Structure 1
Amino acid sequence: MKRLFDLIRNKFFLATVAFVLWMIFFDKNDLFSQYEYHQQLNKLEAEQQFYKDETAKVNKDLDELNSNKVKLEKFAREKYLMKKDNEDIFVIVHEKKD
């Protein structure tokens, strides 16, 4: 018991405990902030990967549209409702049921 009491009264031990407590709870870069920064970093990395995948997909589609005339025509008909002069377009809109 005396040994524990001597350890608690030791100024180096008290300084170390105070320093550790300060770094864990009170510092600008405390343990909780580091955890939040880590979570935010993971979220941003996932977003970055998503946008890289989407960019690759769009570039692939663009290359296909530039190289294949049939796909370009199909894309224009589906997305922009374009047609040839002798054709009619019928757009079917389904009503949503609430």
Structure 2
Amino acid sequence: MAKNRNKYLKPFRNIFVLILVVFAVWMIFFDANSWLIHNELNSDINELEDEKDFYKNEIIKDRKAIKELSTEEGVEKLAREKYFMKKENEDIYIIEYEDSIAKVKKDEK
């Protein structure tokens, strides 16, 4: 059994291998530029790139909305559809279909 242990520990008797192992462990776990920190920074970069894409899409949507609202017809359409405004001497009827109305559960007694 002593020979088995000796067989596995033999490379660590060489000072260069020992220094290489200590250096590798130091660089992977303890250094300021360690592999763990790089992984964390790479995940942060990926999250920020996803946010960047999201906000680019939101900017495109907002530009479309601004373009629509820059005309008189666009403002009138928004006022009628979203805020239910109307012109004088005009009646508005809102038609809701059954499948568009939220179903409310009744309390069972």
Question: Does the alignment reach a TM-score above 0.5?
Answer: yes
Q: Percent identity?
A: 45
Give the TM-score taking structure 1 as reference length.
0.73
The ranges of structure 1 where at least 4 consecutive aligned residues each deviate by more than 4 angstroms after the TM superposition are: 90-93
2:41 to 37, 55, 79: 37
**How far does the alpha carbon of each residue in 1:37-87 deviate from its partner, in whole angstroms, 9 at most, with x for none?**
212211110111111111122112211221x32222111111222211222
- Amino acid across the alignment from 2:30: F
Structure 1 stretches lacking a partner, 5+ long: none
Paired positions, count: 95
Bigger radius of gyration among the two: 2
Cα distance change, pair 39–77 in 1 and its aligned pair in 2 (3 A): same
Equivalent position of 1:9 in the other structure: 13
Equivalent position of 1:83 in the other structure: 86
Give the TM-score taking structure 2 as reference length.
0.67
Provide the alpha-carbon RMSD of the alignment.
2.7
Equivalent position of 2:59 in the other structure: 55
* 1:90 positional shift: 4.5
